[in-house]
Amino acid sequence: MFIACLPNTNLQPVLYTERNTGLNANQLIFSYGPSTIGFDVDLSGFRNQMQTAPATVERNYLQLKEMAVNYDLKPDSRLNETELAKKLATSRTPLREALNRLVAEGFFTFRSGKGFFCRSLNPIGIMHLYEARAAIECEAASLAAHRADPTKLTELEQFLDESKANYTPGTSPTELLRMDEAFHVGLTSLTGNTEMIRLLENVNDRIRFIRLIDLRTLAEKNGGEVVTIRPHAEILRAVKQGDSEAARQAMVQHLTKRLEAVTENVRNAFAELYTPDD
């Protein structure tokens, strides 16, 4: 039904639902002074769309984030929104909402007049992320030595002890990295600072691809036994003793060991991304 409204009138729409009208469909009521004009309009589709929109954006966000973390979209490549919408079985509006959220988190970039692009992959950018990670975690280790809740500290000790058996040459780099991230996020959580946790998780996501390559390269060169929990145990020991400076220094030594390999790892990452599948 087409409804024409004259300009400069006081015709105002009022929405009545079946709850207050007793109708099976929603009714759109236009009031003008003492008079009303009613139209039965089925708005169930619109209501369902409004209810599912946030869930759709979140689903798109998680799918796109995984693609960005793994560089399924090549570095600096322009995103084809039409193709992405088809691939994710979504529409352009929730897709763009998810993309804008990921731009803010550093996984994509936006260029005015050109659109969305996948993040870059270069040694300087990765080094900056590693430095940011070190700044967060070294301060977190120091703060944890003063703030750690004894119960949560014991839980982290138990996690480290239980994961010790999995630090073996046969364990996949993906699993090793999962355990490593879990320890570091767990340690940061001992500070009680939710902002530090959020920042660390963001950095972890953005360097995960490079760290996987680093773990593989390290194991290939020196054997799988080179990856141990010893550095984690030393950090946790200092935290448990309440020695903030020792905890900070133990974290510094742990995190700076692999900084010199950043350029090599980025080069290996490009080789992996652009090597044709057999």
Ordered mean pLDDT values, 10 residues apiece, the chain (278 residues): 44 45 47 50 48 81 96 96 96 95 97 96 95 97 97 97 85 91 97 98 97 86 71 96 98 90 91 77
* pLDDT value for 216: 86
Over residues 109-125, the pLDDT tens digits come to 999 999 999 999 999 99
* pLDDT value for 18: 42
Distances (CA, A) of 155 to 26, 151, 177: 54, 6, 19
pTM of this structure: 0.78
What percent of the chain is predicted at pLDDT more than 70?
A: 78
Q: What domains can you pick out in the chain, each with its CATH number?
A: 1-42 (no CATH), 55-118 (1.10.10.10), 123-265 (1.20.120.530)
Rounded to 10 deg, the angle between the 123-147 and 244-256 helix axes is 160
Which alpha helices (H) appear in the chain, and where do they start and end? 18-21, 44-69, 81-87, 92-104, 123-147, 150-163, 173-189, 194-222, 230-240, 244-256, 262-274
* pLDDT value for 274: 87
* pLDDT value for 222: 65
Query: 142 Cβ partners below 8 Å, 6+ apart?
Result: 244, 245, 247, 248
Over residues 224-277, the pLDDT tens digits come to 556 788 999 999 999 999 999 999 999 999 998 888 889 999 999 999 898 766
